[in-house]
Amino acid sequence: MRKTKVTFNNEKLHVSSELMRALAHPLRLKILEFIDTHGTINVNKIYNSLKIEQSITSQHLKILKIAGVVNAQKDGKFMRYNINYDIVNRAVKAVNNFLGK
């Protein structure tokens, strides 16, 4: 049996795993769908509309922000979020390529 050398770029692997981790949670997907429907939106509107605690919403948005899936802008004392469609589209393309679709 022939051994195949497997090598990964650790930095790209880490970024990819964080992105997939961020997108693999049902509540985060629900939050993303809500933001997608409303465009740039205030965090208060997200948690009030989805009936999620503020702290939980903020935790999930932080994970999405770190992964680059959402952008956040300070608007007075509130944060407004929108989707980074470039990152989302690249993730969809990568998953589809992996699955052979």
Q: Is residue 6 part of a domain?
A: no
Q: Is residue 5 part of a domain?
A: no
Q: Residue 100: phi, psi to the nearest 5?
A: 75, 30
Tens-place pLDDT, residues 37-56: 999 999 999 999 999 999 99
Q: Is residue 67 part of a domain?
A: yes
CATH number for position 55: 1.10.10.10
Give the best-scoring range by mean pLDDT among 10-19, 67-76, 91-100.
67-76
- The pLDDT of 21-30, averaged and rounded, is 96
Q: Is residue 80 part of a domain?
A: yes
Residue 30 has pLDDT above 90, yes or no: yes
Which secondary structure element, helix H or strand E, spans residue 75, and what is its range?
Answer: strand 70-75
Radius of gyration of the chain (CA): 16
**Band (6; pLDDT cuts 50, 70, 90):** confident
Cα separation of 93 and 89, whole Å? 6
Q: Is residue 93 part of a domain?
A: yes
* Domain count along the chain: 1
Cα separation of 11 and 4, whole Å? 21
Give start and end residues of each alpha helix (H) in 1-101.
10-23, 26-38, 43-50, 54-66, 85-99
Q: Is residue 66 part of a domain?
A: yes
C-alpha distances (whole Å) from 96 to each of 31, 37, 55, 60, 100 are 22, 23, 33, 24, 6
Q: Is residue 57 part of a domain?
A: yes
Domain that holds residue 75: 11-99
pLDDT at 1: 61
Q: Is residue 23 part of a domain?
A: yes
**What pTM was computed for the model?**
0.86
